[in-house]
Amino acid sequence: MNINKTLLATLITGAMLSTSALAVDFHGYARSGIGWTSGGGEQSAFSVNGGGSKYRLGNEADTYAEFKLGQELYKNGEKSIYFDTNVAYGGTLQNNDWTATSPALRELNVQFKNFADALPGATLWAGKRFYQRHDVHMNDFYYWDISGPGAGVENVDLGLGKLSLAVTRNTEEGGAFSYYYDYATKSYKSNRDVKKDVYNDIFDVRLAGIELWKDGSLELGFDYGNSHVKDNAHYNNPKATKRGYMATAEYTQGNFFGGFNKFTVQYAKDSMTSWNSGHSQGSLDSNRGNMLRLINQGVVAASDKVEVMYALIYEKTDLKNKQGKTWYSAGIRPMYKWTDTMSTLVELGYDRIKDQATGKKNDLTKVTLAQQWQAGSSIWARPAIRVFGTYAHWNDKFNTAERTNKGYKAKDGEFITGVQFEAWW
């Protein structure tokens, strides 16, 4: 048996059978199911060609799970130390009763709450952690996510709001190469066959909970990315910028038509312009430029029987080498509640990617109808079991080879149907 699987089984079994099992917190997320595609074979999942996210309802073709075990290890008055872990399985297709996969240790950290008398309510932490992630739930787009190994102090009460400081790292494997000193020529020579890593550090500053008026709050953030390599390494792309930054302002209006509305503005420069959630990438030769992102999302209650989730996204990445893109995205998910545990959902999502160099556009539209049985009447209620049908249609004008290699034409459509469960706890 894979040693990682043995470790996971030991952790869960030990937690459940421990004499102090009642003190162990068990949280997590999971989804799985079965589905079919009109073109034959297993269920597919559709996203716009060149994009980084997709509208999720009836459009997830994998089995994915996160198992979080945590326990308070120390308690003395208001001071406490909490140990948190998270083991994740992901990327497995729903094809067999036994699918070999390796788990990933996503979180392993300790949080010391009220660690300093002079900073009541503040927390000192260190380790691997999902750190204050911000996302659009409908399409699983994590637009502010510096998660990784790191350390910091969070929730320092300044009166105006709560200050958090952190540093995390995400390493790019093989983003550099080795070199050596040739004594015969008395010079340094490169050895591109020996790959080296690029270390990308993010320094994060946030001020959250700035109360503007009733149910209206503001969060401000600044992230600085810096990449570095070991002394005996060169970057694969010497023209790449090694530094960058991203500034974020996010306004949340609570009690908004029975729900909330959140508006986010982000501006990034150079190595922080990459698509992947705001992680710096210092080895890319395509990172010189800037990025502007606008997001408006929320949930409203149209009536006692109807809740509506929505999202609007605009992202423009303008790069000096003309390899940037503009992303337009709009989605809406109304839910009608037949009973407290049964509902019908419709999700309509549209994505467009516009190429900076040519102005050509890739489009994808998908619509899903789902019948759902869930643990409560809220649109957020989980666990849920869904029977769904999804139709997706796309029209690719550039980079069509990616779609063709997957067996789909540049202009095409597919229908998928299936059953899925989703749970979080």
What is the average pLDDT score of the chain? 90
pLDDT tens, 275-288? 554 566 666 666 88
- Measured distance CA(315)–CA(141) in Å, rounded: 12
32 CB-side CA count, 13 A: 16
Kind plus residue range of the DSSP H or E element containing 17: helix 3-17
User: What are the beta bridge partners of residue 128?
Assistant: 108, 149
pLDDT by residue (tens digit) across 270-327? 989 975 545 666 666 668 899 999 999 999 999 999 999 999 999 999 999 898 999 9
Other CB atoms within a 10 A radius of the CB of residue 392 amount to 26
Distance from C-alpha of 421 to C-alpha of 372, rounded to nearest angstrom: 9
Only one residue has tokens 């139709």, namely 391
Mean pLDDT for 393-417 is 82
- Least confident range from 2-11, 114-123, 374-383: namely 2-11
Query: Going by C-beta distance under 8 Å and a sequence separation of 6 or more, which residues neighbour residue 338?
Result: 344
Residue with tokens 């049964």: 342
Residues 401, 404: Cα–Cα separation, whole Å: 5
In this model, does residue 12 exceed pLDDT 60? no
Report the run of H or E that residue 112 belongs to, with start and end. Answer: strand 104-113
Read off the amino acid at residue 333. Answer: R
Euclidean distance between CA atoms 366 and 311, whole angstroms: 14
